[in-house]
Structure 1
Amino acid sequence: MSDKLVLTGDRVPEPAEAPQAAPDPVRRRRGLWSRSGGSARAPRIAVLDGLRLLAALSVVLFHYLAGSGTIPWQRTAVRLFPGLHRVAEFGWLGVVFFFMISGFVICMSAWGKSLQQFWQGRILRLFPLYWAAVLLSSVAARLGPRIPGEPRVTVGQMLTNLTMLQEPLGVNSVDNVYWTLWVELRFYLIFSLIVLLGTGYRRVATFCWLWALGSVLAPASGIPLLDQLLVPRWAPFFIAGTAFYLIRRAGRIEGETLGILALSWLLMQHRLPAIMEGEGHGINWKICLAAITVMYLLMGLIALGKLDRIQWRWLPVAGAISYPLYLVHQSLGVRAIWRWNQQWGPWPTLLGVITGVALTAWLLHRLVERPLVPLLRRLIAPATPPSR
């Protein structure tokens, strides 16, 4: 019984004289076991940092090279980069990978936390860099090179964007890439219910089943709020990531988690044509399905600890810059390409702009996130005064 409780994460008091179960060797190797019989904080999974950067770079290439029009190159990317253009067309799948990784990471970071701790962590992770990106992108839109057909960013639009709630408020985003943040916020909102009740294997697994069912019923319910809250188009990816974390905690694939993954995959392949059509990606469904299936396999290897030995020193830096890179690459990079590509030539422009936005992302991490997060942490979670 003691072994089962540790695997599920449920806290149930046991008699004092009960013998302590021996730690599972797989969980001990991963650092998930504490001597008190509970689960210790899991070590950083470095390979996830590298995959985050890979996902961000794929979205970067998609926005720079996948368009069939002349923006941002003043000539078509098909002519300038014929081979790379065909690969970049699939770069939007980086968003899919982001959502899957998010399901894994959010479940991991929320485990054993209170609702207040959970939301404090999310606010500190998302908002400081986001505020900086909104301000930087707004300044670039008002003072930088103008892209043909681009609407002017107003001060009111910028201020509303700072809430990250511009989409439900009916206000255009300063940068189109921000749409994914509203999807993420809805995931955090519904996952808050599990955090409030207390994370445990049974509750999280039930949450996955119910969310999958709800995502199927929501579009037919005729209730817009339910459809908004359950994000049926993207739910399978978050559900899969959450299930992979359950595998990570258990140290093996259980029949139930395998069932959750199978259901999420089947729902994903059903939603995929609508995703491609809705996002304007008229590309090969079979290739997209194969690519997403590879993502499932990669996450499975991570969940089983097969990639834990990958501990390259640059991976934490990759993870740190992936979010700010995603936030600023379009608003800054597209303008730079439009302004300089004819003077520099296509390849120097592409490589120079990618390097420039990556450097900007690193500076945002060092100059904004690192000093601002501790300050905000002290403001929203002040230290408890010592008792007398």
Structure 2
Amino acid sequence: MTQTAERPAPAGAPARGSHYMHGLDVLRVICSVAVLYNHVAGWAKMRGSDDFWLADLIEGGVVESLHLNELLGFVGVGTFLVISGVVVTHVSTREAPGQFLARRAVRLFPALWVAILLAWVLALTGVLGVNHPPEFGDLLLNLGLLNYSVADASTLLAVTWTLTVQVVFYLLAAATIPLLRRWPWLPPAIGAALVSVLISVTNNPTEGGPASLRIIASFLPVLFLGQLVMLVRGKRLAPLPAIALGLVHLWLAARAAATWSGTPDGPAYVRTLVLILLLLLLCTRANGRIARSRVIKVLADRTYAVYLLHFAVVLGTLNLLADPLGFWPALGIGLIVLAITTELLHRFVERPLARGFRRWEARRAARKTEFTRSSDR
């Protein structure tokens, strides 16, 4: 929500204006780096490589000091999820349910499909390692985010499990838009009840649909916490009931982690979530020169593309070049390729589709207005 003279924001993001939380852009950039670090450090650890000395500094200086998960597990992913809860809640107060879902779909799926196709090609050629050799049916499942619900399906991009959580949240948000506008406390309360039921019915799942439902139940509270932050900041919900509902969702997150050993991202899930919330509250107030800078804006607009591509591009490059060239040259090449592919995905998929959809919406609204005027004559 910067000045109105700037280009439109991507579909799914609120238009930049006088009330835009510029600090969230900074937070997006930081958590993109955290996610990238997590996977590169994980690759180096899996290969038994000591070349990634930066991991020793971060693990000793940050992870151990704050008692976080190894390799900053959940820091980047959790931050993305809570930001999504904030942003989605903001736009849902201004959009009809159908419009809301259409804009989220345009924002989410076309870029995802491109990234999935790239990962499928890399997996078929052996450049990218996956849990099972992919078949064409696996490609179709991944394109629809259904691979997590099918036992023994090949997962082409390991990061896409977070998108299954977001899609469920989007559906819940769309269904409760009328409630959110009249009784803002009710959607997060309904969400808490739903999460509690899902935790109860998915008792120690191992794979397939039950495990996917348990992951959704474990991480939905993160998005609802973001929703509560936005409701308070937008003065739609008083702090006291928001804090009470927030404590319920924190308890549900703790319950989910304590009752399932397969919870992703390690035992420090709840502790990390509390730190993320504190960081979020600080960043919602950030409005200085750095937060408003052109560099941060450009980087923030591309964080979704980075999130989708980094796993296949950077790890694929490391798999291909680390042995003949060494870790650091391979990583450098991987980051360059990531920057190029990110720009291509953003410039030729995300941005034109977002603008095209908004133009289509404008034309549709104009036709509807003209029809109404003609009918009134």
What band does the TM-score fall into relative to the shorter chain?
A: 0.7 to 0.9
Q: Does 1:76 align with 2:53?
A: no
Matches within 5 A, 1:130-279: 130-143=112-125, 145=127, 147=129, 151-168=132-149, 171-195=153-177, 197=178, 199-200=180-181, 203-221=183-201, 228=213, 231-250=216-235, 254-273=239-258, 277-279=261-263
CA deviations 1:246-279 (Å, max 9, x no partner) are: 111019962111222232233333434557x425
1:109 is paired with a residue whose SS is helix
Residues 282/267 of structure 1: CA separation in 2 closer, same or farther (3 Å cut): closer
Q: Which residue of 2 aligns with 1:323?
A: 304
Compared CA separation, residues 186 and 79, structure 1 to 2 (3 A): same
Q: Distance in 1 between the 2:91 and 2:196 partners?
A: 27
The alignment-based identity, stated in percent, is: 24
Match for residue 119 of structure 1?
101
Match of 1:49 in 2: 25
Note closer, same or farther for the CA distance 1:91–1:335 as it changes in structure 2 (3 Å cut).
Answer: same
**Aligned mates of 2:80, 2:40 — CA distance in 1:** 19
Whether contact under 8 Å (1:131, 1:162) holds in the other structure is: yes
- Higher normalized helix content (fraction of residues): 2
Alpha-carbon deviations, 1:258-303, whole Å to 9, x = none?
Answer: 222232233333434557x4256556x3xx5443322111222345
Shift of 1:90: 1.6
In the alignment of these two chains, the number of paired residues is 336
Alpha-carbon shift at residue 164 of structure 1 (Å): 3.1
Give the superposition deviation at 1:176: 1.7
Residue 308 (1) aligns with residue 277 (2): no
Gaps of 5+ in 1: 1-39
What RMSD over aligned residues (CA atoms) do the two structures have, in Å? 3.3
Deviation at 1:330, TM superposition (A): 1.1
Distance in 2 separating the partners of 1:251 and 1:221: 33
Distance in structure 1 (CA, Å) of the matches to 2:105 and 2:195: 26
Runs of 4 or more consecutive aligned structure 1 residues displaced over 6 Å after TM superposition: 222-225
Question: What CA distance in whole angstroms lies between the structure 2 residues aligned with 1:119 and 1:107?
Answer: 13
Cα gap change, 1:339 to 1:364, in 2 (>3 Å): same
- 1:362 matched to 2:343: yes
Asked if the contact 2:138/2:155 (under 8 Å) is kept, the reply is yes
Alpha-carbon distance change, 145 to 258 in structure 1, aligned in 2, over 3 angstroms: closer
Are 1:134 and 1:161, in contact at CA under 8 Å, matched by a contact in 2? yes
The structure having more radius of gyration, on CA atoms, is: 1
Report if aligned partners of 1:61, 1:91 keep a CA contact under 8 Å in 2.
no
SS at match of 1:250: coil
1:373 to partner: Cα distance: 3.0
Quote how far apart the aligned CAs of 1:69 are. Answer: 5.3
TM-score (norm 2): 0.77
Tell me how far apart the structure 1 counterparts of residues 363 and 214 of structure 2 sit (CA, whole Å).
32
TM (norm. structure 1) is 0.75
- Cα 1:332–1:273 shift into 2, 3 Å: farther
Distance (Å, rounded) in 2 between the aligned partners of 1:92 and 1:78: 23
Give me the whole-angstrom Cα distance separating, in 1, the residues matched to 2:334 and 2:44. Answer: 20
Give the superposition deviation at 1:125: 0.9
- Distance, in Å, in 1 between the alignment partners of 2:190 and 2:163 is 23
Distance 1:77 1:253 in 2: 51
How many Å separate the matches in 2 of 1:83 and 1:222?
A: 37
